[in-house]
Amino acid sequence: MGEVELSCLAYVKMYLHACLFPRCSVNGLLLSSSPAGGAVCVTDCVPLLHTHLPLAPITQLALTQVDVWCAQTQQRIVGYYQANACVSDSSPTPCALKIADKIAEQCNNAVLLMIDGGKMSPDYRVPPIVMYERKDTRWTLKDKHTIMLRQWEETRDIASQLLDSGDHSLLVDFDSHLDDITRDWTNQKLNAKIAELASPANGNV
């Protein structure tokens, strides 16, 4: 299908989400602030769950709340990501396919992204992600060459920096928000930190 671009912000938060809960499967939604049509630009993500991914009520609740927030902030839900607890198996689970199907109903070129835990070593060179797109009714592997991450090295370094400094604990997913309702699942604080690290003033283009 088309090209997909993954922003620094989206990648870093997904990565930190997986690092924050290394013993659980985690998932989340991919958002875009660009208009529909043409290449899919994933500009942000919302980390959702780290417990009981297949159960319906909280997933439905989260989808609804994120939908509303997106409408208010001119964003769209364009995809879904998941990192499996079992590092050796990074294939999409039935619940991943189900949620991705639901998203695809609203968004034509939705993407399903699996984080490959096995490739997340400290000195990994390529993004540890595998992307799927919808062809007919099945999710098929996307051609690696249609996936773009601008300034990959800088993005990777920002993620490592935040991990080393312990700032990944700032990340709030929907599950954590339900445990403590005052915590912000839109992660404004963390977004600001990432933006600061990514800004030209820091020598990153």
Partner 1 sequence: CYIFQKGCGRKDCHHILNSSPSFDNWNVLIIVFTEMRDKLRKWREDNHRNSEQIVDVGEELINEHASKLGDDIWIIYEQVMIAALDCSRDDLAWTCLQELKRQFPGSQRVKRLAGMRLEALEKYEDASKQYDSILQDDPTNTAARKRKISILKAQGKSAEAIRELNEYLEQFVGDQEAWHELSELYINEHDYGKAAFCLEELMMTNPHNHLYCEQYAEVKYTQGGLENLELSRKYFAQALKLNNRNMRALFGLYMVSSHI
List residues near partner 1 by CB under 8 A.
Answer: 23, 52, 54-58, 60-61, 86, 88-89, 93-95, 178-179, 181
Nearer to partner 1, 154 or 167 (CB): 167
Nearer to partner 1, 52 or 102 (CB): 52
Q: How far is the CB of 54 from partner 1 (least distance, A)?
A: 6
Q: How far is the CB of 53 from partner 1 (least distance, A)?
A: 8
- The closest of 188, 150, 116 to 41, measured between CA atoms, is 150
Residue type, 174: F
Whose structure tokens read 């773009």? 148
- Rounded to the nearest 5 degrees, what angle is found at the Cα of 88, between the Cα atoms of 175 and 14? 35
Nearer to partner 1, 36 or 87 (CB): 87
Q: How far is the CB of 76 from partner 1 (least distance, A)?
A: 23
- Cα–Cα distance for residue pair 184/73, rounded to 1 Å: 15
SS3 90: coil
Residue type, 46: V
Q: How far is the CB of 88 from partner 1 (least distance, A)?
A: 6
- The closest of 4, 12, 8 to 151, measured between CA atoms, is 8
Nearer to partner 1, 10 or 48 (CB): 48
Beta bridge pairs of residue 135: 138
